[in-house]
Chain A
Amino acid sequence: MLRFTLERLIGMVITMALVSVMVFLIMEIPPGDYADRYAFRKYSGTGVNVTEADIQAIRADLGLDKPMMLRYFDWIGGIVLRGDFGQAFAFETSVVKVIGDKGWLTLGILFATLLVTYLVSIPVGIFAAVRRASAMDYGLTIFSYLGLALPNFLLALVLLYFANRWFGADIGGLFSDQYADAPWSLAKVWDMIKHLWLPAVVLAWSAVAYQIQTVRATMSDELNKLSVTVARARGVPETKLLIKYPARLAINPIVSTIGFDVNRIFSELPIVAVVLGLTELGELLLRAYLDLDMYVAGAILLLLTFTIVFMNFVSDLLLAWLDPRIKLGA
């Protein structure tokens, strides 16, 4: 297991390095840079005549005049060595400060969504497979189609409406008003958890619907395996039997697609965030691109892609733990 973990770890680091190069290139692609934008913002309408030399001076001031290679290594070196993601030009502060809480909140929503997805879909899928062709099973199938067919921003609106009616007005956003600008405290975390369930449910909805069917299908296959009958024939109690033998293999396709789920959640988050009034990174990313505020955009892209790469690493380790044939290279 140690050797396997080490191999995957090295693989992850290499992937992240390549990803960082790609992210940097993407940052470079839009024409112009923040120096142009800055000069335009500062002097447009003032009657001041801006020369190419002035822009060059701003560029030198911001450190954008160095060759690309050098800037890449400055940038990535700062991140790796000092946790410094560079300057957020438009905000005139550091990227870390700009992203700060938003990054954590995005990750919070991500993990809450994953948790809801797996905590619901795995047990329910197993249950549906064990009680195949029962009324419960058919009911779940109908729910699954519904879950797949509904766009989740619509679901967000519907849930928002009902949550508002049943639980009071302050359900949008991630915090109640009194905590929104308060420093972090236990009470604030609790307040966040109370708000987190709504976006988590909205984002998990379609994944739950889909993954229930996945677990149900693989669990049904696994239940028919001879090894399950053999285990039953040596007197293993039914619940223990289901968990130890078929379920362990049935969740394999779920675990192997954790990375896809993370990716999907990041893609769907911005529109859900707009509907629910959440502060997260998607909106900031868009703004950073419009402002050519490249280090903010870069940091966000890097955070999202690193999360996906890291979750793939976690998924690999979990798969190897679930099925030892994987790490033995069989």
Chain B
Amino acid sequence: MLKVENLSISFQTDEGMITPVQNVSFAVQAGRTLGIVGESGSGKSVSTKALMKLLPGNSRVSDEARMTYTDKAGREVRIDQLRPKGRDIRRLRGGEIGMIFQEPMASFSPVYTIGNQMIEAIRLHQKVTKKEARAQAIAMLDKVGISNPVGRVDQYPHEMSGGMRQRAMIALALAARPALLIADEPTTALDVTIQAQVLELMADLQRDLGMGMIFITHDLGVIAQVAQDVAVMYLGTIVESGPTADVIRNPRHPYTQGLLKAIPSLDALHDRLSPVPGDIPSPNERPTGCPFHTRCSQRLQGLCDQQLPPTVPLGPNRSVACWLETPEHRTGAEVDAQQQIKQQEPAQ
């Protein structure tokens, strides 16, 4: 239902031009969830803001970018060709593509009731009376598991608890029944119990409403729970993508491998976690060649720091952007890996 190809986004800043997203392509299918995972600054939020044309004025989307969305009526819309303040993009916003953000408190205007903001969303996209819209809003609040929705609909955001606001925010994004939901770190600010509840809720809602979903997070563990497909982003490029189970079981990019090693596991409680070494470089000091080579333990000197790796297809919907996976280096890399294991053996 959504296809993004060759998306690059650059910003004009005081320190010069930075390009936080480079040549990114991904697709979302109806009823499925695409997880986008990456550290802060990897360009995951910026990419999805481009889909809604919500980027600030100093930004530029590359001319080669193609963003094609198939709407509820089955028509194809080229998002990249829409004017950012036009009627066509407004029709998509909220009505076709819903968006939820990290901070529920800040997502609501504090001076209007939850109901006011939901009814506004509904009436912008459906020709219904205020009364009908209100009934829909109450039904949606009920659907996201808010008790006493009839009373809650007239409450202000500050009258709700944190977990309830989170649910209300999801209800707000879903009020006008979008076909695609973009969730930008929706559970990051929550404690783990509430986080689990919200993830479950979102999975249920997606199933009930048959929505497509883009789920942005820095937490691979969360991705494993909600997403069927995953794209791993590093410094504005997608380094690895594929079905979630496959990527987690068999990570091919050194960065994905590093991320997985950094997840605490019950089997290895005594070991120290091994973080990905180094820090993410600042966007105006982008490394040449592979963006990850500065932190990669398997980098090939003279190649990775010089040339951008190609995207190597590994199967249907599965690909990795790494020199080690190209046919000419594959064998060598495996030999290197075996040597590493051998070197470690005497120490054990």
Q: Across the two chains, which residue of chain A brings its CB closest to B121?
A: A234
Distance in angstroms from A236 CB to nearest chain B CB is 7
With contacts defined as CB atoms under 8 Å apart, how many contacts are there between chain A and chain B in the complex? Answer: 71
Kindly state whether residue A10 has any CB partner on chain B within 8 Å.
Answer: no
**Interface readout for A232-258 with B: 1 if CB under 8 Å, 0 if not?**
111111100000110011000000000
Known contacts A229-B54, A330-B158; is-contact A235 B111 (Cβ 8 Å): no
Distance in angstroms from A327 CB to nearest chain B CB is 11
Kindly state whether residue A6 has any CB partner on chain B within 8 Å.
Answer: no
Known contacts A248-B111, A249-B111; is-contact A235 B93 (Cβ 8 Å): yes
Kindly state whether residue A328 has any CB partner on chain B within 8 Å.
Answer: yes
Kindly state whether residue A142 has any CB partner on chain B within 8 Å.
Answer: no
Kindly state whether residue B101 has any CB partner on chain A within 8 Å.
Answer: yes
Bound together, the chains give a CA A248 to CA B110 distance in angstroms of 11
**Chain A interface secondary structure, helix, strand, loop or mixed?**
helix
Q: Are B108 and A233 in contact (CB under 8 A)?
A: no
With a cutoff of 8 Å between Cβ atoms, the chain A residues found around residue B85 in the complex are: 238
CB contact between B124 and one of A227, A235, A249 (< 8 Å): that residue: A235
Kindly state whether residue A324 has any CB partner on chain B within 8 Å.
Answer: yes
Known contacts A229-B54, A230-B99, A324-B156; is-contact A236 B124 (Cβ 8 Å): yes
CB contact between B111 and one of A229, A234, A325 (< 8 Å): that residue: A325
Distance in angstroms from A127 CB to nearest chain B CB is 16
Bound together, the chains give a CA A245 to CA B98 distance in angstroms of 19
Bound together, the chains give a CA A298 to CA B92 distance in angstroms of 65
Q: Are A231 and B156 in contact (CB under 8 A)?
A: no
**Interface readout for A287-299 with B: 1 if CB under 8 Å, 0 if not?**
0000000000000
Counting contact residues on chain A (CB < 8 A from B), the size range is 20 to 34
Bound together, the chains give a CA A234 to CA B91 distance in angstroms of 9
Q: Are B109 and A234 in contact (CB under 8 A)?
A: no
Q: Are B124 and A234 in contact (CB under 8 A)?
A: yes
Which residues of B from 65 to 111 have beta carbons under 8 Å from A?
Answer: 85, 90-95, 98-99, 101, 103, 106-111
Distance in angstroms from A108 CB to nearest chain B CB is 33
**Interface readout for A208-239 with B: 1 if CB under 8 Å, 0 if not?**
00000000000000000111011111111110
**Interface readout for B147-181 with A: 1 if CB under 8 Å, 0 if not?**
00000000010110000000000001101100000
Known contacts A235-B90, A235-B125; is-contact A226 B106 (Cβ 8 Å): yes
With a cutoff of 8 Å between Cβ atoms, the chain A residues found around residue B111 in the complex are: 248-249, 322-325
Bound together, the chains give a CA A233 to CA B50 distance in angstroms of 11
With a cutoff of 8 Å between Cβ atoms, the chain B residues found around residue A232 in the complex are: 54, 93
Which residues of B from 109 to 134 have beta carbons under 8 Å from A?
Answer: 109-112, 117, 120-121, 124-125
Distance in angstroms from B167 CB to nearest chain A CB is 15
Q: Are B156 and A328 in contact (CB under 8 A)?
A: yes
CB contact between A233 and one of B99, B156, B158 (< 8 Å): that residue: B99
